[in-house]
Amino acid sequence: MAVEANERVWPRIVVVGSLNLDLVMQVEAFPKEGETLFGSGLSEVAGGKGANQAAAVGKLGTAVSLIGKVGRDASGDKLIHSLQQAGVDTCALLPSDQPTGRALITVNASGHNYIVVIPGANADLTPFDIDEQRQVIEHCEMVVLQLEIPIETVAYTLRLAKRLGKTTILNPAPAPAHQLSSELLQLVDFLIPNEHELQSLTGFQAVADPASLEVAAQSLLELGAQAVLVTLGEKGCCYLDRQQVKTYPARKVEAVDTTAAGDSFIAGFAVSYLQQRDLDAAVAYAQQVAAITVTRHGAQSSLPTREEVEAFG
């Protein structure tokens, strides 16, 4: 029996972003230019920054919808099934005549990775599509975005979300080729880049030491972002807003694959902050989620459940 609109369980979090089918290769070390190496493993797994973040939220037990596009192909079907298994509402996913997005990921023995994304259907997501799914955004509390969809769609969604009074999170990944506009950043409540994305966003060539990192992040606050939370991998993370600067050490684990580390961190932060509105608690929870994720291979296949995070402590 079809579910009536007024019977639908609306999401607390809406993720607007990409879906990719990932081809993951394991190698001992990354090849040099012109070098051929033997790999030690090959797998095909569900991924894409938008889908990863939505799946992570779903597995953490919070109602979530994903707005995005997939091709009319077997890859798209596989991604939709993976999201549904993670508890994600896929009613806002739209079909595209372009093939489903792909990502080619190489992971070395230390768990670090190189990623090449072929956008496919993700590049088809338009402001018109966002308008078509406006009702989903109207009913949520928080909207989460990344940059694997067209920037005009990101900006349009942020404007709509703020007009509707929603909390907004922007993960500026992959790193943009140019700085984001002040108009766009003013719509962002939490900007969550990693240190490489911070460099790209600000033009600062070195953010390795705390002082230079703080100066770079501060420049984004001056452009309009309400808060900046920089993830630093095994070095932890750094938070800045107009009143404070806080640093958080990382949880120590043996990493095997960092592919979805940032996505799981953002999901954990979103879920906890939505529940408690407590910054320190949200960062701590995000770090727990990410710490579990990097001990497993793959993107969505590595994401922990709420019960696993609680057991991890």
Binding residues for ATP: 194, 231-236, 262-263
**Alpha-carbon dihedral of residues 171, 172, 173, 174, nearest 10 degrees?**
170
Q: Residues marked as binding?
A: 20-22, 48-52, 148, 194, 231-236, 257, 259, 262-263, 293, 296, 298, 302
Per annotation, catalytic residue among 73, 97, 263, 280: 263
- How far apart CA 284 and CA 224 sit, in angstroms, is 26
| Residues 196, 131: Cα–Cα separation, whole Å | 32
Q: Name the DSSP letter for residue 207.
A: -
Is 278 in the active site?
Answer: no
SS3 90: coil
Which is it for strands 93-96 and 88-89: parallel, antiparallel or unpaired?
unpaired
**Residues placed in the known binding site for K(+):** 257, 259, 293, 296, 298, 302
Tell me the binding residues for substrate: 20-22, 48-52, 148, 263
Residue 112's Cβ-count burial label (10 Å; 0-12, 13-18, 19+) is middle
Enter the tokens of residue 46. Answer: 């569900």
* Burial class for 97, CB neighbours closer than 10 Å (0-12, 13-18, 19+): exposed
Strands 41-47 and 20-26: antiparallel
